[in-house]
């Protein structure tokens, strides 16, 4: 079996791995702030959300720009997003709580952002496991239905980040700007997937091309 990658795909793989390499280098060189576990948790969570947004942007990018090659990037971007989410979860369970399941359970019960985060992760898990073409063929129409969970998972991931930031969304105080930006981007990407919106965008793009 031979694997052939386009330059765009190679760029995506390299770009997705750079944050992980930088995180590891920062840890071993003592540059991961005075609380390295918290910093690693926050960074991996943000990397997961950003990559998930990029995966969600592939279809709207095709709709808006008519550039279908980006569709081949959805799977790798989605898998990298899950990879960072898995690291995020592992740091939480292994490093932050030392596999103390009683303490972890208590935290889940007491903190709503943990419940939302675990729910988002639980939704991404089956999507990652069934991302191959073999599963796509085996599940048939159910595959597409299952993978629509990514929309809800993305919204929950942003909500998890927003609540974890401990800011006040109503008064816009605290670290709420990034979650708000991420949430706005996710909502816009989802709106661009609506049939009526997609049709309007495609028609507008085609009219613009016809004028030239």
Q: Record the tokens describing residue 164, joined without a space.
A: 């974890």
Q: Closest Cα to residue 93, out of 117, 129, 112, 127? A: 117
Is residue 41 within 8 A of residue 8, CB to CB? The reply is: no
DSSP 3-42: ----HHHHHHHHHHHHHHHHHHHHHHTT-S-S-HHHHHHH
Q: How far apart are CA 103 and CA 99, in angstroms?
A: 9
Residue 5, pLDDT score: 81
Tracing tokens 């008064």 back to the chain, one arrives at 171
Q: Enter the tokens of residue 170.
A: 């109503």
Residue 13 in any domain: the answer is yes
The whole-angstrom distance between residue 52's C-alpha and the CA centroid of its chain comes to 2
pLDDT, residue 90, reads: 97
Structure tokens given for 189: 């990407």
Which residues of the chain, if any, have pLDDT below 70? 1-3, 167-174, 209-210, 212
* Residue 212 forms part of a structural domain: no
Closest CA to 20 of 56, 38, 44: 44
- The pLDDT score that the predictor gives to residue 91 is 97
Residue 98 lies in a domain: yes
89-147 tens-digit pLDDT: 999 999 999 999 999 999 999 999 999 999 999 999 999 999 999 999 999 999 999 99
DSSP labels for the chain? ------HHHHHHHHHHHHHHHHHHHHHHTT-S-S-HHHHHHHHHHHHHHHHHHHHHHHHHHHHHH--GGGGGGHHHHHHHHHHHHHHHHHIIIIIISTT-HHHHHHHHHH-HHHHHHHHHHHHHHHHHHT-SHHHHHHHTHHHHHHHTHHHHHHHHHHHHHHHHTT-BTTTTBSS-HHHHHHHHHHHHHHHTTSHHHHHHHHHHHHHHHHH-
Q: What is the count of structural domains for the chain?
A: 1
0.85 exceeded by pTM: yes
112 within domain boundaries: yes
Q: Give me the pLDDT at residue 172, please.
A: 62
Q: Tell me, what's the pLDDT at 212?
A: 61
Question: What pLDDT is attached to residue 1?
Answer: 44
The β-bridge partners of 173 are: 168
Taken in order 107, 112, 117, 119, the sign of the CA dihedral is: positive
Domain range enclosing 106: 7-207
- Residue whose token pair is 């540059």: 31
| In-domain check, residue 1 | no
């Amino acid at each position: 079996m031979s694997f052939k990658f386009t330059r765009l795909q190679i760029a995506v793989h390299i770009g997705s791995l750079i944050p992980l390499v930088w995180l590891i280098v920062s840890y071993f060189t003592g540059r991961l702030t005075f609380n390295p576990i918290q910093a690693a948790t926050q960074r991996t969570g943000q990397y997961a959300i950003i990559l998930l947004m990029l995966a969600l942007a592939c279809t709207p990018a095709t709709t808006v720009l008519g550039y279908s090659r980006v569709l081949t990037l959805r799977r790798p971007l989605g898998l990298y997003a899950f990879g960072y989410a898995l690291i995020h979860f592992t740091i939480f369970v292994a490093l932050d709580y030392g596999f103390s399941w009683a303490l972890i359970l208590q935290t889940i019960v007491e903190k709503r952002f943990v419940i939302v985060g675990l729910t988002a992760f639980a939704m991404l898990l089956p999507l990652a496991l069934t991302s191959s073409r073999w599963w796509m063929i085996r599940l048939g129409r159910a595959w597409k239905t299952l993978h629509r969970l990514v929309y809800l998972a993305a919204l929950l991931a942003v909500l998890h980040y927003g609540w974890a930031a401990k800011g006040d969304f109503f008064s816009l105080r605290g670290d709420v700007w990034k979650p708000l930006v991420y949430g706005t981007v996710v909502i816009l990407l989802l709106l661009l997937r609506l049939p009526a919106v997609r049709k309007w965008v495609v028609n507008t793009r085609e009219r613009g091309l016809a004028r030239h």
